Amino acid sequence: MEHSLNSILTAFSLTLFAGLATSVGSAIAFFSRRTNPVMLCISLGFSAGVMIYVSFVEIFQKANESLLISFSERNAAAITTAAFFAGIGLTALIDALVPSEENPHEAQGLEDLAGSIDLNKTSLLRMGLFSALAIGIHNFPEGFATFTAALQDPSLGLAIAIAIAIHNIPEGIAVSVPVYYATGSRKKAFWLSTFSGFSEPLGAIIGYVILRQFMNETVFGITFAMVAGIMIYISLDELLPTAEKYGKHHFAIGGLIAGMIVMSGSLLLFM
């Protein structure tokens, strides 16, 4: 499967946009004294709704359709299902290997992080660096998922990129605040937070370089099914739990349903 240079650049640009949303989180940390927990709760729920809906309704189905070209209906369904759970397993493995002492996916407001200034500067800097490392590792498969989806369908990729970008904003906060309090430098905190988001386009580049020479309908189908699994794991393990911690249950679920409605509407619009 050959892709034009324009489609590759579009997919990469969307992935870069999603990754650099950590910079937005860093900027929010510097210009706002308190988080808006209701808005974060709804936004994260919305992101989860977009990713869950598009994974099951669109990406999983497209993966199966690609595999039907080379396999029987039964075998295509079996391979799609196996690849889907392989994507979940891969992301869970990455999650298990990431240092958990300073977990950037644990919900913390600006006021909570600012309250950590009684820690010594070495501990705060260590917290920020570990958060940046953990985010970088977590974002690697997210970047590959966004890039792969955008390469297949730019409108689909845009929806996923926006969902991932919303998800990355509180992660930028988690990196920048402890680094700022440890070093006193907004510039260092901002750039470390920004660099943690670069793992998304890096994941896209490495994934594409590795798979490009082998890419055909079968490889694409397996890859796309794995992307669906990756996004479901991110939604259930990171987005929804964090949304619940930032706000009330019904706000998170309301955001999730709104994300599904918007995603379904956009898919119908571009049919």
As annotated, the binding site includes 139, 142, 167-168, 171, 200
Structure token digits, residue 115 = 């309250």
The CA-CA-CA angle for residues 202, 205, 211, to 5°, reads 135
Helix axis angle, 154-183 to 5-19, nearest 10°: 40
Per the annotation, where are the binding residues for Zn(2+)? 142, 167, 171
Structure token digits, residue 198 = 């670069």
Per the annotation, where are the binding residues for Fe(2+)? 139, 142, 168, 171, 200
Instruction: Give the CA distances from residue 209 to residues 168, 214, 215, in Å, rounded to whole numbers and listed in that order.
Output: 25, 10, 10
Q: Is 270 exposed, middle or buried (0-12, 13-18, 19+ CB in 10 A)?
A: exposed
CA nearest to 165, candidates 177, 153, 150, 180: 150
